[in-house]
Amino acid sequence: MKRWLVLLSVVWIGTAGAQDSKIKVPYTRFTLANGLTVILHEDHSVPLVSVNTYYHVGSGSEKPGRTGFAHLFEHLMFEGSGNAPEGKFDEWLEAAGGDNNGSTNTDRTNYWEDVPRNALELPLFLESDRMGYLLKAMSPATVNGQRDVVKNERRQSYENRPYGMASIVLSENLYPANHPYHWPTIGSMEDLSAASYEDVVEFFKQYYAPNNASLSVAGDIDVAKTRALVEKWFSEIPSGPPVPPFAAPPVRLTEEKRLLLEDKVQLPRLYMAWLTPPSFAPGDAEMDVLASILTEGKNSRLYKRLVYDLQIAQDVSAFQASARLGSSFMIIATARSGHKLPELEAVIQEEINRLKHELPTAREVQRVVNQLESSFLGRMERIGGFGGKADQLNYYYLVTGNPDYFNEDLARYKALEPADISNSAQTRLPDKARVILSIVPIGKKELAAMAGKEQK
C-alpha cells in the first residue's frame, strides 16, 4: 500500500448520523527566523514522541554526472557531528529507549527518531547538531568510507541481485537523460567515484540548511513546551542560500520501447511501465484503484487469470509509483517454468483492453475503495517511524503545502466511479507509449516479449 494509507490521529467532524464524517489532524505550524518550518501535533494515546526531519532534497535535485549525493548524505548524517561523536547518535538514543532511521528518494531525504516522551529533547539536540555542525566532524576519510559503503549497497541491491537492474533500466528509458528521475537514487558507480570532498561539502551547504527543511514532532507533547525546545536547539543555525525550485519540464513517451536483459535468474520476468500523473494530481488516485483491480487479492483480474486459472505465472503485481514531478505505473509478472513472456503479455494486454472498453463493475471499484479506506482508518494509531504520523504530516506539507491534507487525500478515492477507471486506462495506458522490459535467464532470449522488435 502507498504511504498515504498510514493515517494520523484524527478528530471526527460532523453531525450524528452523517454518512461522510470528515477527519482532521490538529496541528500547530510556525517558521523560525532561519526558515525552518516546524509542525507540531499532539497525540496523548501513548507516551511516545516522534521527531521527523525532511530535507527537501532527493536524487531529483542532483545533476547528471553528480548523482548519488542525496543518498550518500543519508549515510554521512549518522557518522557524527560537532557535538555528537561518531557512534553516539545511536548509542544515546538506544540508551533512552529510542529508535531511529532515515531514507532517501527522488523528492526528499528523511530522518526520524522515536523516543519516550521524557526523552524528547535528545533527538531535537541530535538533529539540530547535525543540521548545524555536521561539517565540523566530516572529513575526506569519512566521505571515502561511506562512499565505499554506498557502492557496496548498490552492488547488493542492483548489480548482484536477481532482477536488480530492472528499476534502473526502466527509469533510464521512461525519462530523458536530463530529467531528475532518469538516474537511480543510489547514484552511479562512476559518479560516486568521481565525487570530491569539496563537491560533498558544497552539496551540504546548498541543501542541508533550515530554510530547505521541515521538522515535524508528533505524539505525547505539550505544544508550548515543545516549541520552546525547538527554538532552543534550532534557532541559532544560520540559513543557507536560496534553493532552486524543484521542477522539470513535462515528459511524454512517443514510442513503445522493448528492452531485453539477460540475468542470473531462473525464471523470466516481464515489466510493463507507463508515465502517469504526479502525486495527488488528477489521475493519480485512479491509477491506484486500477492497479488494485488488476492485481490486489486472489480475485483480482490478473492474479486470477495468470496465477490461478491459466497457471502460467508465479506472481503478478501492479502499482502506481507516485512522485512529485511525475509518476509511473508498473505491471510486473514472473512466468512459471516452461512458459514464455509473450504468453503473459497477451493476457495482461487483454485485461487492459477490457478495462479500456468495458467499465469495471461497481462492486470491483467499491471493493478496492473499501480496502483503501479500511487501511486508511485502521492505521491511525501509529505515531512514528516511516509512514507514521510525524512522517505523514511532513510528507503532505512537502507535496501539497498543507500538513492536514489527508481528508482530501481519502476523498479523492471515495469519489471515483467505474467510468473514471476505464477512462484512465484509455488515456494513461497507451500501447504505443510505454516501456516493456524482459529479464530472462542467460542464454534464453527466446523467452522474451520482443514482439518482433530488434533486441536492445
Same domain, 163 and 298: no
Would you give the DSSP letter of residue 118? G
- In order, the DSSP letters of 152-202 are HHHIIIIITSTTTTHHHHHHHHHS-TTSTTSS-TT--HHHHHH--HHHHHH
Total domains present in the chain: 2
Same domain, 213 and 266: no
Q: Count CB atoms within 10 A of the CB of residue 365.
A: 22
Task: Report the SS3 class of residue 295.
Answer: helix
pLDDT at position 380 is 65
Same domain, 156 and 273: no
Same domain, 52 and 83: yes
Same domain, 44 and 182: yes
Mean pLDDT, contiguous 10-residue spans, the chain (456 residues): 38 40 87 98 95 97 91 93 95 96 96 97 98 95 94 95 97 95 95 90 94 97 98 97 90 95 97 98 97 95 97 98 97 98 98 97 95 78 85 95 91 96 98 97 96 49
Domain that includes residue 397, residue range: 256-447
pLDDT at position 382 is 84
Q: Look at the chain and count its residues.
A: 456
Would you give the DSSP letter of residue 63? B
Task: Report the SS3 class of residue 203.
Answer: helix
Rounded alpha-carbon distances, angstroms, from residue 38 to 13, 30, 385, 403, 424: 25, 5, 18, 11, 37
pLDDT at position 16 is 37
pLDDT at position 453 is 52
Same domain, 436 and 300: yes
Same domain, 262 and 217: no
CATH number of 210's domain: 3.30.830.10
Same domain, 184 and 314: no
Q: Considering 234, 264, 293, which residue would you say is the last residue of a domain?
A: 234
Same domain, 360 and 297: yes
